[in-house]
Structure 1
Amino acid sequence: MNSETLSFDNITDLMLRLGLPAPLHPLIMLVNYDEERMSMADAGKWFDLGFYKISFKESFSGSVQYGPGQYDFKNGGLAFLAPRQTVMMSGAPEDHTGYALFFHSELLQRHSLSQTIHRYGFFAMQSLKLCSCQKRKKE
Structure 2
Amino acid sequence: MVNIESISELHDILGCTKPKHPLITLIDYNTVNPRDSYYNVPFKLNFYMISLKNNAECELIYGRKYYDFHEGSLMFTAPGQILAKGSRSGNEKRDGWMLVFHPDLIRGSALWHKLPEYSFFEYEANEALHLSDQEKEIVDRIVSHIQVEYSGNLDTYSNDLLLSNLEVLLNYAKRFYGRQFITRTAAVKDSVVKFERLLQEHCTTEAIEKAGMPSVKRLAQEMGYSPNYLSDMLKKETGKTAQEFIKLHMLEIAKRLLLTTKDPIYLIAERLGFEQPSSFTKFIKMQLGVSPAEYRRLKAE
TM-score tier, shorter chain, comes to 0.7 to 0.9
More helix by share: 2
Confirm or deny: 8 A CA contact 1:75 1:135 kept in the other structure: no
The equivalent of 1:100 in structure 2 is: 98
Is the 1:75–1:134 contact (alpha carbons within 8 Å) kept by the matching residues of 2? no
In structure 2, runs of 5+ residues without a counterpart are 135-301
1:56-95 correspondence to structure 2 within 5 Å:
56-90=52-86, 91-92=88-89, 94-95=92-93
In the aligned structure 2, how far is the partner of 1:66 from the partner of 1:82? 12
Which residues of structure 1 form unaligned runs of 5+?
A: none
How many residues of Structure 1 are paired with residues of Structure 2 in the alignment? Answer: 131
Q: Which amino acid aligns with 2:130?
A: S
The TM-score with structure 1 as length reference comes to 0.80
1:113: which partner in 2? Answer: 111
Root mean square deviation, CA, Å: 2.4
Superposed CA offset, 1:37-58 (max 9, x none): 3224211111100101111111
Provide closer, same or farther for how the CA distance between residues 20 and 75 of structure 1 changes in structure 2, counting only shifts above 3 A.
same
Match of 2:34 among 39, 52, 68: 39
User: How many angstroms does 1:92 deviate by?
Assistant: 4.1
| 2: CA distance, partners of 1:127 / 1:78 | 9
Cα separation, partners in 2 of 1:24 and 1:129, compared to 1, 3 Å: farther
> Cα–Cα, structure 1 residues 126 and 32, in superposed 2: closer, same or farther, change >3 Å?
closer
Change (3 A) 1:118 1:22: farther
Output the TM-score relative to the length of structure 2.
0.40
Q: Deviations over 1:49-90 (max 9, x none)?
A: 010111111122132221243211133411111101111221
Q: Which has the higher contact order (CA 8 A, sep 6+)?
A: 1
| Matches of 1:115 and 1:84, distance apart in 2 | 19
Distance in 2, matches of 1:39 and 1:71, equals 19
Bigger Rg over Cα: 2
Choose between structure 1 and 2: higher strand proportion. Answer: 1
Distance in 2 (CA, whole Å) between partners of 1:65 and 1:52 is 17
Matching residue's letter, 1:59: N
| CA–CA distance in structure 2, aligned partners of residues 92 and 134 of structure 1 | 28
Change (3 A) 1:71 1:10: same
Is the CA contact (8 Å cut-off) linking 1:11 and 1:27 kept in structure 2?
yes
Q: In the alignment, is the contact (CA less than 8 A) between 1:60 and 1:76 conserved in 2?
A: no
- Alignment partner of 1:7 out of 3, 6, 21: 3
Please state whether the residue corresponding to 1:95 is helix, strand or coil. coil
